[in-house]
Amino acid sequence: MATIIDVAKKAGVSKSTVSRVLTNNGYVSEESKQKVLDAMDEIGYIPNLLARQLQSGVTKTIGFIAPSYMSSMGKFLQVFMESAKNNGYFVNLYLTSGDKQKEIEALNQLKYKQVDGIFILTRTNEWDVIKPFKQYGPLSTWNRIEEDWIYSSFVDHYEGYLMALNYLYRQGYQKIGHVLGFYKNLNTKARVKALKEFHEVNHLPLDEKWLIQSNFKKNGGRQIANMWVESTDRPEVLAFYSDQTAAEFISEIELLGFSCPKDVGVLGFDNNEVSELMHISTVDYSLEKQASNSFAYLYNELNEKKIPIQELKIQLIERKTLRRL
């Protein structure tokens, strides 16, 4: 490994001079500069980033924590990384398998100065245990949370869900089932609020049996499909908290000889790849913009130059899993 000193010797100058041309800092005569450049070329010199980072205390990399590889993550990760790359940052990916300890290890990377900031797609630990890491660098998340120590790129699921439910109502659906996410999630709470209001305003009975808290496990949608098939009092339509779960549901009922929207309507949420493939009507909420905002926040905290945060929109995408009037 050639070092700055080898270059200095070769060029017949001191290592400080080499450092100066490397960083473009301070005065260097054209002559020495040329000598140094030539020497670097000859030797094939490569600066050691590690040493630089140790010196500057900056790694130019962001940690991306996710519980596991979810299909809805794809687009998000792609855009996040794109933004990062465009702004000179690398991305370190940590998959925790939903293991609290592993999440902490990943967060520790911030302490250990291995990353400058961290993005948490979906948290596993309580916020209380995550919060202390804030002192080591900026945090941002996809979870919905309204606090000042962490940035959350979220859209208002209350409004989004209400809009979606009203759409279902206009299509003539009356018996609506709801498949929600983790109950502690703020998005879930927002949705619960929306759906209670919706049922109340429209005088529709709310069947608690079809107010499902999905447990996030893989193939949760398939379990719900079996529930639905075995049910004696089936809802006409199911509104899911994610396209993935909706896709699993549809996949399973098809296996069981049912079809959609003939036997049951399905509304997804995310507008991800799978929903397009399977023609699932869904709600788009600017996932791409959320991703770039998530990075933008971290970047803005870390640098002087600011990237603007983009505004988010919610929009219903009509495809083929809901009946049309």
Residues in contact with DNA by the rule CB under 7 A: 1, 3-5, 12-17, 19-20, 22-23, 25-29, 31-33, 46-48, 51-52, 54-57
List, in order, residues 6 or more apart from 184 with CB less than 8 Å away: none
Provide the H-helix boundaries in 219-308.
220-230, 243-255, 273-277, 287-302
Least spacing, CB of residue 266 vs DNA, in Å = 54
Q: Which parts of 82-111 interact with a second copy (CB under 8 A)?
A: 82, 85, 90-95, 97, 102, 108-109, 111
- For residue 325, the partner it binds in a second copy, DNA, none, with Cβ less than 5 to 8 A by kind, is none
Residue 216 in contact with a second copy, rule: CB under 8 A:
no
What phi and psi, each to the nearest 5 degrees, are found at residue 146? -115, 80
- For residue 279, the partner it binds in a second copy, DNA, none, with Cβ less than 5 to 8 A by kind, is a second copy
Q: Are 107 and 308 in contact (CB under 8 A)?
A: no
Q: Which helix (H) or strand (E) holds 120?
A: strand 117-120
97: left (phi over 0), alpha (psi -120 to 50) or beta: left
Q: Which parts of 16-55 interact with a second copy (CB under 8 A)?
A: 46-51, 53-54
- For residue 98, the partner it binds in DNA, a second copy, none, with Cβ less than 5 to 8 A by kind, is none
List, in order, residues 6 or more apart from 228 with CB less than 8 Å away: 177, 234, 235, 238, 249, 253, 264
- Using the rule CB under 8 A, give the single segment among 64-72, 158-166, 227-235, 299-307 that binds a second copy: 64-72
Residue 118 to residue 131: CA distance in whole angstroms: 12
Please tell me what DSSP assigns to residue 132. Answer: G
Closest CB to DNA among residues 33, 175: 33
Please tell me what DSSP assigns to residue 4. Answer: H
Residue 93 to residue 114: CA distance in whole angstroms: 12
Closest CB to a second copy among residues 94, 241: 94
Residue 75 in contact with a second copy, rule: CB under 8 A:
yes
Q: Are 281 and 317 in contact (CB under 8 A)?
A: yes
Residue 238 in contact with a second copy, rule: CB under 8 A:
no
Length of the chain: 325
- For residue 125, the partner it binds in DNA, a second copy, none, with Cβ less than 5 to 8 A by kind, is none
Least spacing, CB of residue 69 vs a second copy, in Å = 4
Provide the H-helix boundaries in 65-215.
73-86, 100-111, 127-130, 157-170, 186-201
- For residue 254, the partner it binds in a second copy, DNA, none, with Cβ less than 5 to 8 A by kind, is a second copy
- For residue 101, the partner it binds in a second copy, DNA, none, with Cβ less than 5 to 8 A by kind, is none
Of the candidate residues 19, 125, 213, 251, the single one contacting a second copy (CB under 8 A) = 251
- What is the binding site for a second copy (CB under 8 A)? 1, 46-51, 53-54, 59, 61, 64, 68-69, 71, 74-75, 77-78, 81-82, 85, 90-95, 97, 102, 108-109, 111-114, 247-248, 250-251, 254-255, 273-274, 276-279
